Structure 1
Amino acid sequence: MDRTYGVRRTRVDHWRAGLACVPESVWERVDAEELILADNRLTAVSPRLAALTRLHMLDLGHNRLTALPEEIGELTSLAGCLYLHDNRLTSLPESLGRLTRLRYLNVGENPLGRLPESLGDLRELTELRAQQARLTELPETVGDLAALRELWLRGNELARLPNAVGRLRELRELELRDNRFTAIPDPLRGLPRLRRLDLRGNGVGELPDWIAELPALEKLDLRWNPVTVPPEVEERLAARGCVVLW
């Protein structure tokens, strides 16, 4: 019994099997609720994946995938995790937005360049990882992720965040390490539950006064930035228990 989601799993597991292609028998396991095909040598996934309509979790991480079939959007029972990290994906299908019950999505370590507009349809998503994905911007629709609590964007090419990020009222953790920010992104000033903000390794030069007004902020990491922290801002943050590293 899976205690996370409270349902019994029928596992199809080819963990570290060195597969270059998925056996056809896998696509016949229509009762499968977890499918783990991580750590293989897969370069493609068959559209027959759509037959696995009972899947709650799918792990395709650490492969050599260059594309995903549009049919992945048929897996509308995915209510747990979708791992796509450490592949060679240059884009994600818009049909990904049909996975409206998804809670965790990892698309990091792929040369994506951008995220699909349909991302905003994932209204139950609580954690999004898109680290080292060559992103230069985020779609405005990211602001529609009303349940999002964690956003991990380390190692991209971001210099700004869309104003829509200010609508992420449930966001607790935001990692912007190793990007191209020269200032604290202004859309963050309206985030009432933001606890941890990681801006290490950017070009941030100074702090805005409003940073001390973020009511839930517990840790602000500004190491490896040419930053100056005004004493009064540091004092205000320290007075309410916020740790500032710089």
Structure 2
Amino acid sequence: MMEPEAGQAIAVTRITKCLEDGSTSLDLSGLELSTVPESLAQLTYLKRLDLHGNQLTALPEWLGNLTALTELDLEDNPLTALPESLGNLSALTWLYLEDNQLTALPEWLGNLTALTELHLGGNPLTALPESLGNLTALTWLYLHGNQLTALPESLGNLSALTCLYLGDNPLTAMPESLGNLTALTELNLGDNQLTAMPESLGNLIALESLHLGGNQLTALPESLGNLIALESLYLGGNQLTALPESLGNLIALTTLVLGRNRLTALPESLGNLIALELLYLEDNQLTALPESVGNLTALESLHLGGNQLTALPESLGNLIALERLYLGGNQLTALPDSLGNLTDAARFGPNGR
């Protein structure tokens, strides 16, 4: 570990060099800094400043005078608050504040209207300001690993968002305004405490990846079937007892994770998912599979362990791409003859993940 005095000396040397050569980028990361050197205030032309991995508990007010900054990295510090002057950095496009100790965000955050990426993961945030909705240029918003229990309705103003990460929070509900985020391609809400999803979910027709695993969902909205661009759907570790027929509309799906739920049956429409390559159904309460499962001819891995299956459909033998079939922990007394059609490369494992 670097001594703080040595880190300060290195920082001052780098700032001096920056002043001499007019560089617009400065890296002061990992120097164990507990304060920001005052000489940095002279670099008013600086565009990129990296202060991540230090020991900063507070930031100087004069940092807000560096109005040319477009990238500011403050990740992995013990910051508990941000100075009001940071609201002056109206040219910022990237702001990294992950892995700090921020418990709240100031309303002035909404002044940073040029932001396209905002990283706030790994803080103890319990709420977000309504002014977040002013950041209409945002394309990436990372809020995973906080203590958020609710989200502001203004979230729906962020219509340019393509990636929204909210995993590992204690969220119990999502605002209806979620459906306004029609540019989203990736939505991660895994490991929260969600009991339902709004019907407006179906408006997110550009969505390619949806992570809802590790929640308390008991049902899914029929509007799920509108997400025809969806390629990956993660629903493991919920309390689902049934799936909507509209699931069969998701013909672009290649990965479907439904393990560790309470499913007793699957819709016939499952057979429409002809692009599906990975299907996880382990640790449910399935007593039978629909014949339509034989339509999934692109399927490479099928996990059925830990259910209550007493028989398998003959159509299973149509799965000519299958390489892994997990059946352990069921009540099977026989296998269909059609399984002999499967390639010798297919492995019959005791269980899946």
TM-score using structure 1 length:
0.90
Q: Alpha carbons of 1:42 and 1:162: their partners in 2 closer, same or farther (altered >3 Å)?
A: same
Tell me, yes or no, if structure 1 residue 123 matches structure 2 residue 202.
no
Aligned partner (choices 289, 313, 325) of residue 244 of structure 1: 325
Is residue 2:154 matched to residue 1:71?
Answer: yes
Give the structure, 1 or 2, with the largest relative contact order (CA under 8 Å, sep 6 or more). Answer: 1
> 1:223 matched to which residue of 2?
305
Report the Cα distance in structure 2 between the residues aligned to 1:199 and 1:59, rounded to whole angstroms.
29
Moved over 6 A (4+): none
Is the 8 Å Cα contact of residues 12 and 26 (structure 1) preserved in structure 2? no
Residue pairs, 1:87-98, within 5 angstroms: 87-98=169-180
Aligned residues, how many? 237
Which residue in 2 is equivalent to 1:56?
Answer: 139
- In 1, the alpha carbon distance for the partners of 2:297 and 2:187 equals 28
2:289·2:313 contact (CA, 8 Å) conserved in 1? no
Moved more, 20-29 or 30-39: 20-29
Aligned-partner Cα distance in 2 for 1:132–1:240:
30
Gaps of 5+ in 2: 1-70, 72-91, 328-353
Residues 39-72 of structure 1 deviation map (CA, whole Å, 9 limit, x = unaligned): 1011110010011111000011111111111001
Partner Cα separation in structure 1 for residue 136 and residue 260 of structure 2: 38
Distance 1:10 1:234, change over 3 A: same
* 1:42 matched residue in structure 2: 125
1:168 equivalent in structure 2: 250
Secondary structure of 2:302 counterpart? strand
Distance 2:322 2:302 in 1: 11
Q: How far, CA to CA, are the matches of 1:25 and 1:16 in structure 2?
A: 21
SS at match of 1:105: strand
Superposition map of 1:165-204 within 5 A: 165-204=247-286
2:115 to 32, 37, 41: 32
Residue 196 (structure 2) aligned to one of 94, 107, 114: 114
3-state SS of 1:77 partner: coil
CA contact (8 A) 1:117 1:141 kept: yes
TM-score (norm 2): 0.64
Sequence identity of aligned pairs in percent?
43
Asked if the contact 2:208/2:232 (under 8 Å) is kept, the reply is yes
Q: Which has the larger radius of gyration?
A: 2
Deviation, 1:30, is: 1.5
Query: 3-state SS of the aligned residue for 2:178?
Result: helix
Deviation at 1:231, TM superposition (A): 8.3
1:205: Cα distance to partner? 2.7
Pairwise CA distance, 1:219: 1.2
- Deviation at 1:187? 2.4
> Using the alignment, how far apart are the partners of 1:99 and 1:231 within structure 2?
41
Q: What secondary structure, in the 3-state scheme, does the structure 2 residue paired with 1:118 have?
A: helix
Deviations 1:131-158 (A, max 9, x none): 1221010001001111111110011111
Q: Which runs of 5+ in 1 are unaligned?
A: 1-7
C-alpha distance 33-14 of structure 1, shift in aligned 2 (>3 A): same
Amino acid in structure 2 at the alignment position of 1:180:
R
Which of the numbers 209, 214, 238 marks the counterpart of 2:296?
A: 214
Corresponding residue for 1:4? none
SS in 1 for 2:110: helix
User: 2:199·2:223 contact (CA, 8 Å) conserved in 1?
Assistant: yes
Distance 1:208 1:244 in 2: 16
Q: Deviations for 1:99-129, whole angstroms, at most 9, x for unmatched residues?
A: 1000000112221110011000001000100
Q: How has the CA–CA distance of structure 1 residues 108 and 158 changed in structure 2, closer, same or farther, with 3 Å as cutoff?
A: same
Q: Distance in 1 between matches of 2:293 and 2:313?
A: 13
Partner Cα distance (2:237, 2:260) in 1:
5
